[in-house]
Amino acid sequence: MQHQITFLDTRGGSVRFSCRTEQAISRAAEEAGVLIRIACDNGGCGACQAEMQSGAIRYLAPISEKQRRDRRSGELRYELLCRAVPTEDTTFLIRRPWRRINRQPMSNLLAQLQN
């Protein structure tokens, strides 16, 4: 089963991709050519923080609750996308910019060049 993930940025941009039920959202993003900031890849550093706007997730493995908290207020505010898997279609606000890469197979690129 797959769910739709939407990333929003602070300037009104968005990107949407599919994520399998047992797949970390950061991995699904990478497969779709959307690169977000990842450092530890194990739920410990907070580099992949995102604010969930709608939907639901669960975690594949334990994560740092400290990295989910707002530094000023101490409230739980962020989800950690390197360990989060969607349980329904979900939308996140990503404050750090993502980068898009071309995931087309080389054969498709060569075909485009020949036309």
- Segment 49 to 88, residues that bind ligand FES, using CB under 6 A: 67, 80, 82
Q: Which is nearer to ligand FES, 43 or 86 (CB)?
A: 43
**With binding defined as CB under 6 A, does residue 36 bind ligand FES?**
no
Determine the interface stretch with ligand FES among 4-12, 13-21, 41-49, 105-113 (rule: CB under 6 A). Answer: 41-49
Interface residue with ligand FES, options 32, 35, 40, 93 (CB under 6 A):
40
3-state SS, residue 37:
coil
Category of 96 on φ-ψ map: left (φ > 0), alpha (ψ -120 to 50) or beta:
beta
In whole angstroms, give the CA distance from residue 90 to residue 13.
Answer: 16
Q: Which is nearer to ligand FES, 35 or 45 (CB)?
A: 45
Q: Which is nearer to ligand FES, 46 or 86 (CB)?
A: 46
Residue 13: name the closest of 99, 103, 79, 102 by CA: 99
Structure tokens at 25: 């959202």
Helix-strand-coil percent breakdown of the chain, rounded to 5? Answer: 15, 35, 50
In the complex, the residues that contact ligand FES under the rule CB under 6 A are: 38-41, 43-48, 67, 80, 82
